[in-house]
Structure 1
Amino acid sequence: MNEHTFHGTVGREIRINHSQRSGVAVVNFSIAINSRRFDKSKGHYVERPTVWKDVVVFGQFAENVYDTLTTGMHVTITGEEVDDSYTKELDEPGRDDVVIRRTKIEARDVAVSLRFQKAQVEKVQRSREQPGDQQGNGRATTAPQPLG
């Protein structure tokens, strides 16, 4: 498994969709990862370019993420980098199709960073009528909200 941990800021409005076949929730968003390094020759820190990572989350987990996160929140994402490449077919004669190479983080865990913000946490109430249901049916009526 190629599990990694990323710390960043939610940088795009979080979108939720549901699979047409199964109804499973799918959430997509991106995080901005900012970093800096100390430049000895200049005697101070130098900001590195922002790195953007796309994140995808599925199922009840996706709904929890959608109900909790907002743009600008500092988060920690743990997950696996997966190939999300595709081929763009060109309609122009004599031109080869273009392969668009990209990756996404398929999140295994998403946590709100408490370094620069506070949060209230509320446990999601799951239905006990369907044991082993990974998606869960019952949800809490209010989601965790950032404070301050």
Structure 2
Amino acid sequence: MNENTFHGTVGREIRINHSQRTGTAVVNFSIAINSRRFDKASGQWVARPTVWKDVVVFGALAENVYDTITTGMHVAVTGEEVDDSYTKELDEPGRDDVVIRRTKIEARDVAVSLRGQKAQVEKVQVEKVQRTDTAPQPVG
């Protein structure tokens, strides 16, 4: 696994859905990553263009993100960049379908940045699953 951490500002309303098959929570949002570099020639800091990253979060983390994060918050997202490309089928005769190449961050952790904001933390009770030995018993 190749994890990276991205720091940015939540740029759109967070949406939550639940998988129809499993009921697992799925949250989607995007972050704006702003950076700058020092230009030696002018002696000034120069802003780079904003980079937008789409983020997807699953399960209990998704529920916590949905309940906590809002547009405009500064966050740190740790996760793996995954391929989210798709093929757009064109209905025009003689034209090939178009492959849309894109990636998104599949988050393993999302944290509120405390650089320019304060946060209150509330511990969430995690359900513990008891394991039982379910191996088949020999029939006597």
After TM superposition, the score normalised by the length of structure 2 is 0.90
State the identity as a percent.
85
Q: What is the correspondence of 1:125-144 to structure 2 with a 5 Å cutoff?
A: 125-128=125-128, 130-131=129-130
Whole-Å separation in 2 of the counterparts to 1:24 and 1:84: 19
Q: Give the aligned length.
A: 131
Tell me if 1:27 matches 2:2: no
Shift of 1:2: 1.6
Shift of 1:90: 0.8
Stretches (4+) displaced over 6 A: none
Structure 1: runs of 5+ lacking an equivalent: 133-148
Deviations 1:21-66 (A, max 9, x none): 1111000000000000010111110000000000000011100000
3-state SS in 1 of match to 2:32:
strand
3-state SS in 2 of match to 1:64:
helix
In structure 1, the partner of 2:54 is 54
Q: What is the correspondence of 1:107-126 to structure 2 with a 5 Å cutoff?
A: 107-126=107-126
Whole-Å separation in 2 of the counterparts to 1:75 and 1:127: 26
Q: For 2:12, give the aligned amino acid.
A: R
In structure 1, the partner of 2:88 is 88
Q: For 2:41, give the aligned amino acid.
A: S
RMSD: 1.0
Tell me if 1:15 matches 2:15: yes
Tell me if 1:103 matches 2:103: yes
Shift of 1:127: 3.3
Q: For 2:26, give the aligned amino acid.
A: V
Instruction: Tell me which structure has the larger Cα radius of gyration.
Output: 2
Deviations 1:48-92 (A, max 9, x none): 000000000001110000000000000001100000000011111
Structure 2: runs of 5+ lacking an equivalent: 132-140
Whole-Å separation in 2 of the counterparts to 1:131 and 1:50: 46
Tell me if 1:69 matches 2:78: no
